[in-house]
Amino acid sequence: MADNPQVLILMGSDSDLPVMEEAKLVLDKFGIASEMRISSAHRSPSRTLKLASEAAGRGIRIVIAGAGMAAHLAGVVASHTTLPVIGVPMPGGALNGVDALYSTVQMPGGIPVATMAIGKAGAKNAGLFALQILALNDVRLATALTDYRQMMDQEIADKDAALLKA
């Protein structure tokens, strides 16, 4: 378990882990400590309530919540904390994540969830979005994020140059 995690990465099932690890990878890359936990809005509601309501008191600053199917995890967490909650809809199930996308994004006015794309791209962006929030008060992190964008830009330029030569 990481010391003093700033970001709590929650997921509804261990089957979500291969996707949600993308968020942790990004946070690790930028040196931000996070904690991954499993709790379900439906199968373990009391545990979910405890994790959400105690998060701020433990020093957590942002919660990333990923769940699939009738995905209520991010919304339930958001209803029990005023920390920013970033939702990641999981792919899979009969509707391959569209159910989770709608369940996560369609929050009633008053309890926001910042919803990312379905699957690994969404989990990666959840990590980056958390970093962007933390960077508001962290110049080192803001600079690292600018460098990351420049690196992506350079990668595209390199691929374009290689394609031109091929």
Contact stretch for ligand RP5 (CB under 6 A) within 22-30, 57-65, 66-74, 144-152: 66-74
The answer to the question of residue 39 lying near ligand RP5 (CB under 6 A) is no
Q: Please name the residue that has the structure tokens 């957590």.
A: 60
Cβ proximity of 73 and 52 under 8 Å: no
Please report, as residue ranges, which positions from 90 to 129 form the binding site for ligand RP5 (by CB under 6 A). Answer: 90
Contact stretch for ligand RP5 (CB under 6 A) within 50-58, 65-73, 75-83, 132-140: 65-73
Minimum CB separation of residue 24 from ligand RP5 in Å reads 16
Closer to ligand RP5 by CB, 34 or 40: give it.
40
The tokens for 114 are 């910042």
Cβ proximity of 134 and 32 under 8 Å: yes
The answer to the question of residue 16 lying near ligand RP5 (CB under 6 A) is yes
Binders of ligand RP5: how many residues, by CB under 6 A? Answer: 9
**Binder of ligand RP5 out of 34, 39, 40, 125 (CB under 6 A):** 40
Contact stretch for ligand RP5 (CB under 6 A) within 10-18, 44-52, 79-87, 126-134: 10-18
The answer to the question of residue 67 lying near ligand RP5 (CB under 6 A) is yes
Of 92, 76, 91, the C-alpha closest to 39 is: 76
The residues that bridge with 54 in the sheet, in sequence order, are none
Minimum CB separation of residue 84 from ligand RP5 in Å reads 20
Positions touching ligand RP5 (CB under 6 A) are 12-13, 15-16, 40, 67-69, 90
